[in-house]
Amino acid sequence: MKPAFAYFGAAPRFSEPLYVGRPNLPDRQRLHQELDAMLDRRWLSNGGPNVQAFEAELAESLGVAQAITFCNGTVALEILLRALDLTGEVIVPSFTFIATVHALQWLGLKPVFCDIDPLTHTLDPAQVEALMTPHTSAILGVHVWGQPCAIEALQALADQHHLTLIFDAAHALGCTWQGQPIGRFGRAEMFSLHATKFVNALEGGVISTQDAALATRLRRMQNFGFTGYDRVETLGSNGKMNEFSAAVGRASLAEMSALMAINQAHYATYTQALAGIPGIQLFAFNHSERHNFQYVILEITAAEFGLSRDQLVQLLHAENVLVRRYFYPGCHQMEPYIRLYPEARQRLPVTEALSQRVLSLPTGTAVTTTDIQAIAACIRDIQAQAPQIQAHLH
């Protein structure tokens, strides 16, 4: 007799899909008011009042001198890399979303894939130093899950070797390192405001920096290089955020503390509900820092759980729990990198192992405490029946 799970023909435990990263929606009344005002002004782009206000609010929240908004995080990162005049090689983790690495390759820079710390899932400074060559121009760290990189160690390496240090902080809005907001470190940091982020602007990105000259250059390069009404002084592109995205972003940012509290409560519920399941390890944050908890990450040890991570994914998807394999299989295993840098795999044992173990669970305002308890119960039931399930899987 087959186990009583949807994968084998039973009814799914959830009638509607539960997604990872389903958008949090801001206050509709406020948003409608902002939209009406924007339409009345007929100022829809090109640095309108919403963009100006949003950038000021972001700068205050991040504790930085400058916050420059963009149409999305990928374009923000590309323009930042171009504004910094980087050349040659940039050391970067493979354990990240593909956009981090694409931005480098797109601009003709060579990504040098570096392994990560197995506990923090961020760049291992010792491995970074070992990969430096005369062609290295920068280190691009990623605050994965909002967990800060080893900022102090990376900055020391950058200073010692005269390299530029920047951070992909796409996951890290609202998080801190040594009590200071992420966004204040390196030459600059990039945040994503994509719809799947807990604070979003439908689509959007932000560069934060304390460097006024760099901020000026970024503002010019995001607007075709214009320095005046009909004066262009540098090469540029079109990376501007529009007024509607900025209005959504402002409404979302205003609710950031409340959204973080919801995420933290969900994380606590998962922690309690998943406790004691063999082969399950919940990613642990440093509770002396502030976190946004927008990702709930499991590591699955197949030998203890009784099933592989990918088998668990199959079973949960059938139950309408649409968990995600972040960041599978690692950027170095995707095109064009697997073809261009086939040697990378040999120096990434932690990345290779982690990409086979990690699972991201639904959280945010689209799920309830009851949903989370039911998800955890489903995982517990799957583990308890792992031998029977294994016998029937194909």
- Residue 326's CATH number: 3.90.1150.10
| Domain identity same for 159 and 250 | yes
Q: Say what angle helices 256-274 and 369-384 make with each other, to 10 degrees.
A: 30
| Domain identity same for 271 and 211 | no
Domain boundary among 254, 273, 300: 254
Q: Is residue 133 part of a domain?
A: yes
| Domain identity same for 250 and 307 | no
| Domain identity same for 205 and 225 | yes
Q: Which residues pair with 175 in a beta bridge?
A: none
Tell me which DSSP letter residue 329 carries.
S
Give the pLDDT of residue 380.
98
Q: Is residue 368 part of a domain?
A: yes
Are 305 and 298 contacting, i.e. CB atoms less than 8 angstroms apart?
A: no
Domain boundary among 254, 275, 290: 254
| Domain identity same for 276 and 212 | no
Model pTM?
A: 0.96
| Domain identity same for 58 and 195 | yes
| Domain identity same for 64 and 156 | yes
Q: Is residue 20 part of a domain?
A: no
Domain boundary among 190, 224, 254: 254
Residue written as token pair 């990450």 = 297
Q: Is residue 378 part of a domain?
A: yes
Q: What are phi and psi of 134, to 5 degrees?
A: -60, -15
Q: Which residues of 255-293 are buried (b: 16+ CB within 10 A; e: fewer)?
A: bbeebbebbbebbebbeebbeebebbebbebeeebbbbb
Give the pLDDT of residue 21.
92
Residue 189 belongs to what domain range? 28-254
Q: Is residue 206 part of a domain?
A: yes
Taking Cα atoms as reference points, which of 78, 52, 65 lies closest to residue 222? 78
| Domain identity same for 232 and 276 | no
d(CA 2, CA 145): 37
Asked, as a colleague might, if the bond just before 329 is cis with ω within 30 of 0, I would say: yes
| Domain identity same for 178 and 326 | no
**HSE of 17, CA atoms in CB hemisphere, 13 A:** 9
Give the pLDDT of residue 393.
87
Q: Is residue 1 part of a domain?
A: no
Give the pLDDT of residue 85.
97
Q: Is residue 367 part of a domain?
A: yes
| Domain identity same for 130 and 209 | yes
How many domains does one find in the chain?
Answer: 2
Q: Is residue 52 part of a domain?
A: yes
d(CA 338, CA 356): 17
Low-confidence stretches of the chain (pLDDT beneath 70): 394
| Domain identity same for 39 and 158 | yes
- Residue 220's CATH number: 3.40.640.10
Decide the pairing of beta strands 66-70 and 89-93.
unpaired
- Edge to edge, the sheet with strand 188-192 lists 66-70, 205-209, 188-192, 164-168, 136-142, 89-93, 110-114
Instruction: Dig out the tokens for 240 from the structure.
Output: 């501007």
| Domain identity same for 326 and 308 | yes
